[in-house]
Amino acid sequence: MHAVPRPLELRLLLPLVILVPLGFAVTHIAQTSTLDPGPMAVAIGYVGLMLGAHLALRLVGNRGDELLLPCVATMGGIGIVMLNRLPQELLGTDAFGVRFGMATTQLLWFGVGVSAMVLLAGRFRDDGVLRHYKYTWALAGTLLLVITFLFGREVNGARLWIFLGPIGFQPGEAIKVVLVIFIAGYLAEKRTLLAGASARIGPFSVPPLPYLLPMIAIFVIVMLVVVVSRDLGTALLFMGIFLTMLFVATGRRSYVLLGILLFIAGSFVAYNLFGHVRIRVDNWIDPFVDPSDRGYQTVQALYAFGRGGLFGEGLGQGLPTISGHLPIPALPTDFIFAAVAEELGLIGAFALLALVMCLVFRGLRTAMLARDDFSAMLAVGLTVSLGLQTLIIAAGNVKLVPLTGITFPFVSYGGSSLLACFVIVGLLLAISHRSVVDAQIEGRGQ
Amino acid sequence: MTGEVLRILLLVLQLGFLALLYLILIGFSRALLRDLRSAEVTQMASQSGIGRLSVVESPADEPALGSAIALGPINSIGREVNSTIFIDDDFVSGLHAMLTFRGRSWFIEDQGSTNGTYVNGHRIDRPVALSFGDELTIGRVRMRLER
Going from the C-alpha of A305 to that of each of A296, A319, A335, A339, the distances in angstroms are 14, 11, 11, 8
For residue A237, pLDDT over 60 is answered with yes
Structural domain that includes position A234 = 131-273
Is B17 within 8 Å of A315 when comparing Cβ atoms? yes
**pLDDT tens digits, residue range A385-427?**
999 999 999 999 998 988 887 889 999 988 889 999 999 999 9
A178 with A110, same domain?
A: no
Name chain A contacts of B21, Cβ cutoff 8 Å.
19, 74, 78, 344, 348, 351
Tally of domains within chain A: 2
* Confidence band for A332, pLDDT divided at 50, 70 and 90: confident
Single pTM value for the model = 0.83
Residue A1 lies in a domain: no
Q: How many CB atoms lie within 10 A of CB A234?
A: 27
Instruction: Provide the angle, in degrees to the nearest 10, between the axes of the packed helices A102-123 and A41-59.
Output: 0
Maximal CA-CA distance, chain B? 96
Provide the pLDDT for residue A195: 62
Are B17 and A19 within 8 A, CB to CB? yes
A98 with A198, same domain?
A: no
Pairing, β B74-78 against β B85-86: parallel
Which sign, positive or negative, has the C-alpha torsion A415, A421, A423, A426?
A: negative
Contacts for B138 with CB less than 8 Å, ≥ 6 apart: B77, B87, B89, B92, B96, B97, B113, B117, B118
A416 with A292, same domain?
A: yes
Are A103 and A84 within 8 A, CB to CB? yes
How close, in Å, is residue B68 to chain A by CA atoms? 6
Residue A43 lies in a domain: yes
Q: How many CB atoms lie within 10 A of CB A323?
A: 4
Query: Got the DSSP string for A304-350?
Result: HHHHHTTT-S-TTS----BTTB-SSTTTTTTTHHHHHHHHHHHHHHH
Collapsed DSSP state (helix, strand, coil) of residue A188:
helix
User: Cβ of A7 under 8 Å from any chain B Cβ?
Assistant: no
Contacts for A244 with CB less than 8 Å, ≥ 6 apart: A380, A381, A384, A388
Residue A169 lies in a domain: yes
A214 with A230, same domain?
A: yes
Are A201 and A208 within 8 A, CB to CB? no
For residue A250, pLDDT over 70 is answered with yes
Angle at B42 between CA B39 and CA B44, to 5 degrees: 110
Q: What is the ipTM of this complex?
A: 0.84
Name chain A contacts of B13, Cβ cutoff 8 Å.
22, 25-26, 29
Is B130 within 8 Å of A374 when comparing Cβ atoms? no
User: Which of A221, A238, A273 is the last residue before a domain boundary?
Assistant: A273
Maximal CA-CA distance, chain A? 74
Instruction: List % helix, strand, coil for chain B (3-state, nearest 5).
Output: 30, 30, 40
Residue A168 lies in a domain: yes
Average pLDDT over residues A38-60: 93
Looking at chain B from residue 18 to 77, which residues have their Cβ under 8 Å from any Cβ of chain A?
18, 20-25, 27-29, 31-32, 35, 39, 42, 52, 54, 66-68, 70
**Which one of B23, B31, B131 has the shortest CB-CB distance to A373?**
B131
Is A26 within 8 Å of B132 when comparing Cβ atoms? no
Residue A91 lies in a domain: yes
Provide the pLDDT for residue A168: 67
**pLDDT tens digits, residue range B107-142?**
898 888 888 999 888 888 888 888 888 889 998 999
Angle at B17 between CA B14 and CA B21, to 5 degrees: 145
Higher pLDDT, A66 or A262: A66
- Which region among A85-99, A347-361, B83-97 has the lowest average model confidence (pLDDT)? A85-99
A175 with A195, same domain?
A: yes
* Confidence band for A446, pLDDT divided at 50, 70 and 90: very low
A342 with A242, same domain?
A: no
Going from the C-alpha of B61 to that of each of A385, B66, B142, B145, the distances in angstroms are 42, 9, 11, 18
User: Which of A273, A300, A322 is the last residue before a domain boundary?
Assistant: A273
A67 with A136, same domain?
A: no
Name chain B contacts of A314, Cβ cutoff 8 Å.
10-11, 14
Contacts for B60 with CB less than 8 Å, ≥ 6 apart: B88, B89, B140
A254 with A377, same domain?
A: no
How far separated are the first and last CA of chain B, in Å rounded?
Answer: 69
A157 with A177, same domain?
A: yes
A337 with A292, same domain?
A: yes
CA nearest to A255, candidates A271, A243, A238? A243
Residue A323 lies in a domain: yes
For residue B40, pLDDT over 70 is answered with no
For chain A, the average pLDDT equals 84
Residue in chain A closest to B33 (alpha carbons) equals: A358
Residue A2 lies in a domain: no
Q: Is the peptide bond before B59 cis (omega within 30 degrees of 0)?
A: no
CA nearest to A312, candidates A332, A279, A337? A337
A51 with A165, same domain?
A: no
User: Which of A273, A296, A324 is the last residue before a domain boundary?
Assistant: A273
How close, in Å, is residue B61 to chain A by CA atoms? 15
Collapsed DSSP state (helix, strand, coil) of residue A87:
coil
- Which region among A55-59, A154-158, A312-316, B113-117 has the lowest average model confidence (pLDDT)? A154-158
Are B95 and B83 within 8 A, CB to CB? yes
Residue A54 lies in a domain: yes
A178 with A288, same domain?
A: no
Is B133 within 8 Å of A372 when comparing Cβ atoms? yes
Provide the pLDDT for residue A378: 93
Contacts for B44 with CB less than 8 Å, ≥ 6 apart: none
